[in-house]
Amino acid sequence: MIDEKFVPLVDIPENQDYESYVYLVVFDHDKLMKYYLGYHDGLFDGTYKGSPKTHEKEFRRDLGKYQYKIYCLAIGTHDNMIYKEKEMLDQIKSEGKFNEMYNESTGGGKGLKNYNKSVEQIQDAVENNELETEYVLKEEVHKFKWWQVRFHLVIQQHVIRLRNLIEESDGDWLEENHRGVLVLKDYHGKGKHCRIGSAHTTEAVQPIDQVTHLKVIWIPKELWKKLDESDKKELGQWDNPQDQAPRLPTEEDETSAWIAEACIEKGIEPSHISFRRKLKRQGYSNYQIPPRIKKAEKLLEDLKAFTGSGLKQIDWESAPYSDELQTKIDSFKGIAFVAAAGNPEKMLVRLMSFFLNNPKETRFKIFVNVTHGLGAKRQKDYWDSKGKPWVMGYLDMYKKEFRLSKSGKSQLQIDIEDLEFSMLDPNFVN
């Protein structure tokens, strides 16, 4: 039986299926320093009481001198509990109550993952109007190198939508609804800045005569220098919140891709507690968060398939492979086209369209491409196991039904060529 001094404030499973817990020691005395908060790998079984360093002697002495209770505040994985400990200690410090703690620091250390205060510092500074701002010629802002956050560089429909709103209001809409362009100052060297967000707004204002300048929010080096790739993407996603129309919200696939990339970069899993907190700040509801985390788990499987393999996926939509693909298409004597492995239904629709518009053509070829990027390995597996057999079944039917000779013999030739999926990565170091 656990000592009555040990009080669980959360439900602890009977099978003891958890790695770690967060606890709070509370002393019953009148001294200023009366609390100790920490995490511990193991079970909340009434044996562990804490391990401060700077105040260890006083802590041990007070354990023997005063009444106290130890509360279990949370249970879970090691990664989640060390994160939660850090989060709670930082909150205590921000409230000016850290002098009441036996803790010598706000936790963290080597075991802490995906906890970068620089991201939150930038977010807070932007929301509180604490950063330097400047109205810069719109053409100059457009020239700043853009750090791409989205899968798609620019969605023209959204650009037009914004342009209409801005132009019809003679620029007033921009002043009322656009907080500014987030820019990492001197990111690429002195005077060479990097835009994080507002790609569509920056594009939309270029032909509008009523708008000559854009508000720039300068993020200084002391704030951006600690950002890694996934942190910058997190900032970009936060700049496209889910509940603030007419901004273009970040798509589900993009959010899941960011989570998966961050997991690889930080050495954590999508279930890590940090993602729920970060997604909440980006404007996601409790209903929207779970499916994005679930999709990230699937994407992570794909990423891990390449990690350490010495291989990389071939991007047939970019040079020099796009040129090679175009040569393949041009050299085919008949009608050839490229189709995505992940959408076999659309592949057949396109083929039927070519049938209808080319009634005398008998030779067709489909180059099947696995879309480059996250989810590629899963898409390839789907095509190989289900998509391709399904398409081949329909092609066999087409050959029996279309372009028949007078004798009833099929004249239709339809070939499928799977574009090569991967290649040796020349930059791979074992």
Domain boundaries, the chain: 6-100, 121-228, 251-307, 321-424
Topology of the domain comprising 121-228:
3.90.1530
pLDDT of residue 24: 96
Q: What is the mean pLDDT of each run of 10 residues along the chain (430 residues)?
A: 84 90 95 94 92 92 95 94 93 92 87 85 90 94 77 65 89 88 93 87 92 94 88 83 44 77 87 90 86 86 75 89 94 95 93 91 95 82 94 92 85 94 78
pLDDT of residue 244: 40
pLDDT of residue 14: 85
Gyration radius from the chain CA atoms: 29
| Helix or strand holding residue 415 (H, E) | strand 413-418
Distance, in Å, from the CA atom of 376 to the CA atom of 300, rounded to the nearest integer, reads 11
Q: Is residue 274 classed as helix, strand or coil in its secondary structure?
A: helix
pLDDT of residue 200: 84
pLDDT of residue 154: 58
Q: Maximum CA pair distance of the chain? A: 104
pLDDT of residue 210: 93
pLDDT of residue 216: 94
* Cβ within 8 Å of residue 57, ≥6 positions away: none
Helices (H), 239-272: 252-266
